[in-house]
Amino acid sequence: MQITVELPEDIARHPDPGREALEALALEGYRSHQLTQFDVGQLLGLSRVQAEDFLARHVDLYDYSTEELEAEADLLHRLHSQV
């Protein structure tokens, strides 16, 4: 599918406004859970590793809550105590 977008003149003067728009779309789709990492890679023509690298530069891939982090820390402490 091809989508056409009209851009304001100042944005259209950017080096690659089409790519910027596509990347912004991919990032928003990923942040809103509408796109997976695989989808982002397909949309941007990236390998799995490249897609992960792209997302790591722009979003928090490991968005853990405080409770999740504390539970992980407790588990690691218990496991370390058993050794």
Task: Confirm if 26 and 35 have CB atoms less than 8 A apart.
Answer: yes
Q: Give the tens place of pLDDT for each residue, 26-39.
A: 999 999 989 999 99
Would you state the pLDDT for residue 27?
A: 95
Each domain of the chain, given as residue ranges in start order, spans 9-82
Mention every residue, 6+ apart, whose C-beta is less than 8 A from residue 27: 40, 55, 58, 59
Would you state the pLDDT for residue 52?
A: 92
Q: In the predicted model, is pLDDT for residue 19 greater than 80? A: yes
Would you state the pLDDT for residue 71?
A: 87
Amino acid at 53: D
Would you state the pLDDT for residue 62?
A: 72
- Encode 28-77 in three state secondary structure: HHHHCCCCCHHHHHHHHCCCHHHHHHHHHHHCCCCCCCHHHHHHHHHHHH
